[in-house]
Each structure stands twice: as C-alpha cells, then as structure tokens.
Amino acid sequence: MPSSQRRARERASTRDRIIEAALHVLENDGSAALTIRRIATDVEYSAPVVYQHFANKEALVLELVAYGHGLLLAELQEALGESGIDQRMLRIAAGYVRFAGAHPHLYEVMNGTAVPADERRRAAEPAVDVLKDQLITWSQAHDVMLTDLDEACEIIWGTVYGLASLGGLGTIGNERAQRLAEQAVHAILLGWRTGTPLR
Amino acid sequence: MPSSQRRARERASTRDRIIEAALHVLENDGSAALTIRRIATDVEYSAPVVYQHFANKEALVLELVAYGHGLLLAELQEALGESGIDQRMLRIAAGYVRFAGAHPHLYEVMNGTAVPADERRRAAEPAVDVLKDQLITWSQAHDVMLTDLDEACEIIWGTVYGLASLGGLGTIGNERAQRLAEQAVHAILLGWRTGTPLR
DNA sequence: TTAGGAATTCTAACAGCGTTAGGAAGCAGG
DNA sequence: CCTGCTTCCTAACGCTGTTAGAATTCCTAA
C-alpha cells in the first residue's frame, strides 16, 4: 500500500506550500494582509483546508517565526567568519540589524505580540546562544570575569534589538542603524573591559 | 446662547470619558480587549457614538499613545531631580524601564504597529528631547565631543527601549531590567568618555 | 407658542476576520 | 459493488471596524 505514503507526502507538501505562501504574503504585503483566506487562495484551496495542517493561525505564524529565526541564525553564523572576537561581536550586532532591515515584516512578526512571549523566547534561543558563545570567548580573550553571563548576554541582545527596531522605525536608515548597533556594542564591551563597577 | 457652549462642554466631556474608558480597558484587559464596542459599552453609549469624536480607531489609540508619553515624560522628569549628570542618566534609563513595566499594555500600544511609525515618533519626541538635553549637559560636563548628538541620543534611546521591551517580555523581572538598562547606559557613556574610536 | 432645522443617538447592516459544522466527492480495500 | 476514510467545499457563527438611515431630542427663530 504505497498510496498511504504518497498521501502523507502530499499532505506534507501542501503544508509546506501553505507556509511558503504565508511567507510570500507576509514579505510582500505585510502582516495586515496575512489572513487565512488570502493564504488559502494563494495555494488554490479554500480556507478550512489550512486548519487540516495547522491548529490555528497562531500555529502557522509560529512556523513563520521559526523560519525567520532560521534566517537570522544564518546571518549571525555568517558573522562568525570574521577573525578576531571583537570584530565578530560587532559583525553579529550589524548582522542582526541588517536582518531586521532586510526582512522588516518577518522581523515584526518575530518580535510582535501576535505570538506569546514564551514561544518567541524559545524560537530566539538558538540565535541567542550564538551570541552567548561569542560572549564567552570574548570574556576569556580579554580576561574579563562577567558576573552573570546570561545578564551580559541579555544586555547585548536587548541593545541590538532596540537599535534594530528603531532602525526599522523608519527615520534612520538600516546602514546607520547597523553602525549605531556596532557602536553601542563596542561601547558596552569597552565598559566591561575597563571594568568600572556600577555604583 | 450659552446652550451651545454647554453642548461643546458636553461633547468634550464625553470625548474625555471615551479616552478614559479606553485607557481603563487597555490597562486592565490588554490591547486585545480594546474594541470600539467594548469602550462604547463602558461609557454607556452605542458604538457609532465613538465615531462622532474620533475619525477611526487609530485616532483614538493615538490619543492613548499621547497620554502614555505624557506619563513617560513625567517619569523621566522625575529622574531630573537627581543631582549629578551621570546619576541622572542612569535614573532616566531606569525610569524608562520602570514605566514600561508599570504600564505594560500601554507601553505595548505606544511601541506596537497599531499606530504608524511616524506618528509614534512624533509622540515620543518630547521624551526624547529630555534625554537629548541631559546628553548635552553630560557631554559638556565630561568635555566629550559627540560627533553626532542625534545619533548618540538614538543609541541611548534604542538601547533602553530594547532592554525595556526585553524586560516586558517576561523572563527577566522589571527591577533586573532596570539594572541592565543602567548598566548598558553606564557602559556606553563610559565608552564615549574613554573615546576609543570604532575600528 | 410653535415650526423647523440641527444635533444626537440608536438599530441594522456591510465587509472582513478566525474558526467550525455538515455534506459532497474521490479513493482504498473486502 | 459497496463500505469506510480522507479530502475538500459551502455555509455559517461570532467577532471586528465602520457606515447608512431613521428616530428622537433639543435649540432657535418666526
């Protein structure tokens, strides 16, 4: 009975096609156009078919978020090609901001409130871990004892996130936002190296 | 004909009541509950009445955003009581994060995509100006020449914004987010003082 | 005082959203 | 053939923001 296998393949295939269509809609027409009916129409199905592959819209969007974090991860790993830990940290910051600028709608969904906070956090984990790794080697390279690694990581991550979001906010261009992020990270790392305690 | 004046007063009054009701709904039940019908019900009117006072929902939400930035401004100005420019900068950062934690739903609307980016920016301007002022006195106090004041301001603002949003994301508490924001700003300022050029 | 016009408010409706129920079509195996 | 299973669609529900039109009230002016 190879037919059941073919059925399963077809199922998975249309599932993927739905995701791709959703991604296409999101990147082209923004999150406001990301409706079940629109997606279904694009894959030439009626709306209820989507619910045979995803429990609800949130589950589908979560898939887009996962995909987005895959892209982000790739961008960050590209930054790891840089030799020299300090350069690498700056490239990570710039890479993050560049990603946000290259995929504004996807980035918006990844960080918006359409998906619950804990799921967002889980999706971001691998990317955060890349930063955490680099932060470890940075602290070793400069012989800096970071009192709390997670805290330090969140400072960097939060900073870059803030500047990326501000960059997407429009007034400042993406290249400038990249430079600002680099500058901010540079300053923060420098502050940690000179090790002036806070108060 | 004082009646027309009374009418005008009444009009303005119900307009205010609508805003207050909307704020109440938002702060209590979150942005998902912020519907025209819900607000209208709370002020004991039918839904279309809202449209006699606001062109559309966005205009009403924009009013909430303005109110929120008023609150934020007050919080920041409270930080100006601190003597010593460095302490003041840290208190601004902590105050911003505290505000985000104290009014999470309002903060979400203030920075979410429900309102277009340029209007968000305009609403935030007074609060940003407070930071800019302090940044000027800081640069003078430490005899630091900031190549671009606006850029520096945006770095700080973006950083604090990022950490505040991360703080609201749940895992890390608000007090900790405040400390992280202080630490980040501290590090950035220290970096600017030691003035190591970027690359 | 009364007629008329303006302002106010309501109900009903429209288009769109996410989502679900029920039935029609096609395909598998006995 | 025919029974069961999967797949798919139409129709609908309840919700959203928003608008049209009628009804009511209130103020003004003759």
Residue nearest to nucleotide C8 (CA to C1'): B49
CB of B35 within 7 Å of some strand C atom: no
Q: Which of B27, B54, B81 is the last residue of a domain?
A: B54
Contact B123, B62 (CB under 8 A): yes
Considering the domain architecture, whether residues A114 and A188 belong to the same structural domain is answered as yes
In this complex, the nucleotide whose C1' atom is nearest to the CA atom of residue B49 is C9
pTM: 0.93
pLDDT of residue B198: 54
Considering the domain architecture, whether residues A100 and A183 belong to the same structural domain is answered as yes
Residue B140 lies in a domain: yes
Of A5-19, A48-62, A131-145, the poorest mean pLDDT is in A5-19
Residue A199 lies in a domain: no
Considering the domain architecture, whether residues A89 and A2 belong to the same structural domain is answered as no
pLDDT of residue A11: 79
CATH of the domain at B22: 1.10.10.60
CB of B32 within 7 Å of some strand D atom: no
Q: Which of A54, A72, A88 is the last residue of a domain?
A: A54
**B156, B185, B190, B199: best to mutate for the A interface, most A CBs within 10 A:** B190
pLDDT of residue A171: 72
CATH of the domain at B79: 1.10.357.10
Of A127, A25, A12, give the one whose Cα is nearest residue A79: A127
Considering the domain architecture, whether residues A34 and A80 belong to the same structural domain is answered as no
Tally of structural domains, chain A: 2
d(Cα B19, Cα B33) in Å, to the nearest integer? 14
Residue A85 lies in a domain: yes
CB nearest B190 (choices: A31, A171, A191): A191
Residue B97 lies in a domain: yes
In this complex, the nucleotide whose C1' atom is nearest to the CA atom of residue A51 is C19
Q: Residue A1 pLDDT more than 50?
A: no
| A117: chain B residues, CB-CB within 8 Å | 169-170
Rounded mean pLDDT for each run of 10 residues along chain B, 199 residues in total: 66 93 98 98 97 97 98 98 96 98 97 94 97 97 93 94 84 89 94 72
Mean pLDDT, rounded, for A70-82: 97
Residue nearest to nucleotide D6 (CA to C1'): A7
Residue B199 lies in a domain: no
Considering the domain architecture, whether residues B79 and B121 belong to the same structural domain is answered as yes
CB nearest B184 (choices: A120, A169, A188): A188
pLDDT of residue B199: 47
Considering the domain architecture, whether residues B145 and B164 belong to the same structural domain is answered as yes
CB nearest B172 (choices: A111, A154, A183): A154
Q: Is B18 buried (19+), middle (13-18) or exposed (0-12) by CB count in 10 A?
A: buried
Angle at B32 between CA B30 and CA B35, to 5 degrees: 105
Residue B171 lies in a domain: yes
CB of A140 within 7 Å of some strand C atom: no
Q: Which of B54, B80, B97 is the last residue of a domain?
A: B54
**B144, B151, B155, B165: best to mutate for the A interface, most A CBs within 10 A:** B155
CB nearest B194 (choices: A160, A192, A194): A194
In this complex, the nucleotide whose C1' atom is nearest to the CA atom of residue B57 is D17
What distances in angstroms separate CA A37 from CA A12, A22, A161, one per listed residue?
Answer: 20, 11, 32
Considering the domain architecture, whether residues B26 and B85 belong to the same structural domain is answered as no
Considering the domain architecture, whether residues B23 and B105 belong to the same structural domain is answered as no
| Chain A residues interacting with chain B (CB cutoff of 8 angstroms) | 31, 90, 108, 111-113, 117-118, 120-121, 151, 154-155, 157-163, 165-166, 169-172, 176, 179-180, 182-184, 186-192, 194, 196, 198
Tens of pLDDT along A121-172?
999 999 999 999 999 999 999 999 998 999 999 999 999 999 999 877 667 8
Q: Is A46 buried (19+), middle (13-18) or exposed (0-12) by CB count in 10 A?
A: exposed
Considering the domain architecture, whether residues B106 and B190 belong to the same structural domain is answered as yes
Considering the domain architecture, whether residues B103 and B181 belong to the same structural domain is answered as yes
| A198: chain B residues, CB-CB within 8 Å | 179, 182-183, 186
- The minimum CA-CA distance between A163 and chain B, rounded to whole Å, is 5
| Chain B residues interacting with chain A (CB cutoff of 8 angstroms) | 31, 108, 111-113, 117-118, 120-121, 151, 154-155, 157-163, 165-166, 169-172, 176, 179-180, 182-184, 186-192, 194, 196, 198-199
Cβ separation A188–B192 shorter than 8 A: no
Considering the domain architecture, whether residues B168 and B76 belong to the same structural domain is answered as yes
Considering the domain architecture, whether residues A117 and A100 belong to the same structural domain is answered as yes
Structural domain span for residue B29:
1-54
pLDDT of residue A196: 63
Residue A133 lies in a domain: yes
